[in-house]
Structures are given as structure tokens and as C-alpha cells.
Amino acid sequence: MPLYAAYATTLDPDQMARCAPHSPLWDTGWLEGWRLTFGGGRAQGDGALATVVEDVTSSVFVALYDVTERDLHALDSWEGSDIGLYSRIKVRATTLFNGEVTAWIHILNDYEGGLPSARYLEMIASAAQKAGAPADYVQALRSRPCEPR
């Protein structure tokens, strides 16, 4: 199984330890040519959900995990792919020490658009900070538009 590239709340190492306890952090890096966005509108009741879309002018910070078969189903369930909310695709991630690697991500099975809740956006920013994302990346997350509280 290729590496898993966490980009939203799964950037939080504590969350990953809960939902994939047998899958160690392998490295951090970037999805070059991708942009973090939100979709699904209010269908989930708490604002739009995180996803990524291709965009040659952007990049998304990721934490790369070596997910075991044992943890794969739990992670899919956590992300909602077992109910069709997200799907898995393979992407290329760039790391400082290991160069370019193949990884898989969950992408939202819904249209781009809508705003995340302020709580959800803060969860993503805090997760990115815990994962070691650069301060300017974390600040850009915190300054994104969101639904009012």
C-alpha cells in the first residue's frame, strides 16, 4: 500500500494515533499542483468539508503515514469513504528528504463550494500546526473565510 497523505484534520498526530494506531508517521511534504478547498455545502450540517483539487499555482501541506492493512479500514471509516462520502486516489507528494513519492488521499465526492464552519477550519489549522506546517501556511488557513459562529 502506498503512503497516505493527510491534509486536513488527519494532519493532527493525536487523531491519526486514534484512528490508525499501527501506522507510523513517515515524513511530511507537499502536494504540489493541488489546492485545499471545501465542498458539499451544508449537506453534512456543519459547513463544507475539506478536499483538494488540482491547481498548478498551489500546494497543500501533508503528513505522510505508512498505513498498515490493519488500519486501512478504520481510516476509510473515519473519512467516510465506507459510506461514499470520500474516495481514494493516488497522488505525488514531494518531501524534503525522500523526494517525490506516491501517496493516496481521500477526496470529497461532492462539488467544490460552500464554507467550512469556523470550528472545523480551526481544527484543520491546529492540526497543520501540530504536524509542523510552516507558520505562514497555518496563518493562511486561519484567515480563510468560514461560516459565522
pLDDT over 90 (residue 2): no
pLDDT, residue 1, reads: 62
pTM (2 d.p.): 0.94
7-39 pLDDT, tens digit per residue, is 999 999 999 999 999 999 999 999 999 999 999
Whether 120 has a binding-site annotation, put simply, is yes
C-beta pairs of 127-131 under 8 Å, 24+ apart in sequence: 127/8, 127/9, 127/10, 127/11, 127/12, 127/15, 128/11, 128/61, 130/11, 130/12, 130/13, 130/14, 131/6, 131/11, 131/12, 131/13, 131/28, 131/61, 131/63
Q: Which residues are catalytic?
A: 79
Domain 3-138 class, CATH top level: alpha beta
pLDDT in tens, 56-103: 999 999 999 999 998 999 999 999 998 999 999 999 999 988 899 999
Radius of gyration of the chain (CA): 14
What residue segments make up the domains of the chain, in order of their start? 3-138
pLDDT tens per residue, range 45-55: 678 999 999 99
